[in-house]
Amino acid sequence: MDASDPKPRKPTTTDWDKVKQRLAAARVAVEHVWAPTAEETQRILKARAQALAREPAPAETADERIEVVEFLLAHECYAIESSYVREVFLTENLTPLPCTPAFVLGIVNLRSEILSVIDIRKFFNLPEKGLTDLDKIIVLQSGSMLFGIMADAITGVRRIPVADIQPSLPTLTGVRQEYLKGVTPGRTVILDAKKLLTDEHIIVQEQVSG
């Protein structure tokens, strides 16, 4: 046998019992280090409560939408909640009504039902811009209150996320704040139909003496 060859080593044996004891001791030490104290537990619970309080509104609220009928009037875009719109029809046989405010354009006979028609531009004292057709009447109704508003064209019906509706100063829209639900990012003015339908200034009571 060559003298340069290493001497054979004796096989070593592993004491598995000692290994298991060391692992168990290490696990106990780790658990002891990470176990929170009573004060730490209170701090964690308080932090969680504050985080929950800052959570956004539920998905159903965030996704809430309103359905509106959009229309054009004097080159401006308006909308009104569809739940207050009974129907839309072409302007025909509009009869002027004397002794009424300037915003009352007249009355129409809608299937044997007398309907007063108003021009919201004049009601809001908005400037009249250019030519306008005013060939559509949007019939608004809430309970027994019923009247029509004039429009140049109906552009459609769509659902708008409530979160997208922004408040707007009356000076930006010309519409007084109490009649305004808000403005969309596309600058569509959403009118408050409920307020319009309950406004005593719009109620027309025509009395004819005999």
| Confidence (pTM) | 0.65
Q: Model confidence at 76, in pLDDT bands (50, 70, 90)? A: confident
Confidence of residue 78 (pLDDT cuts 50, 70, 90): very high
- Residue pair 124/179 in contact (Cβ under 8 Å)? The answer is yes
> pLDDT at residue 23 above 80?
no
Read off the pLDDT of each residue in 58-64 and give the average, rounded to a whole number: 60
More confident of the two residues 196 and 92: 196
CA-based max dimension of the chain: 144
Confidence at 191, pLDDT banded by 50, 70, 90: very high
CATH classification of 61-197 is 2.60.120.260, yes or no? Answer: no
At 192 the three-state DSSP class reads: coil
| pLDDT value of residue 210 | 39
Provide the 3-class DSSP secondary structure of residue 151. strand
Q: Where are the domains of the chain?
A: 18-53, 61-197
Closest alpha carbon to 71 in 123, 137, 115: 137
| Contact of 70 with 77, CB cutoff 8 Å | yes
Q: pLDDT tens digit string along 94-141?
A: 999 888 899 999 999 988 899 999 999 888 888 776 667 788 999 999
Burial category of 149 from C-beta neighbours within 10 Å (exposed 0-12, middle 13-18, buried 19 and up): buried
Instruction: Calculate the CA 95 to chain-centre distance.
Output: 39
pLDDT at 188 over 50: yes
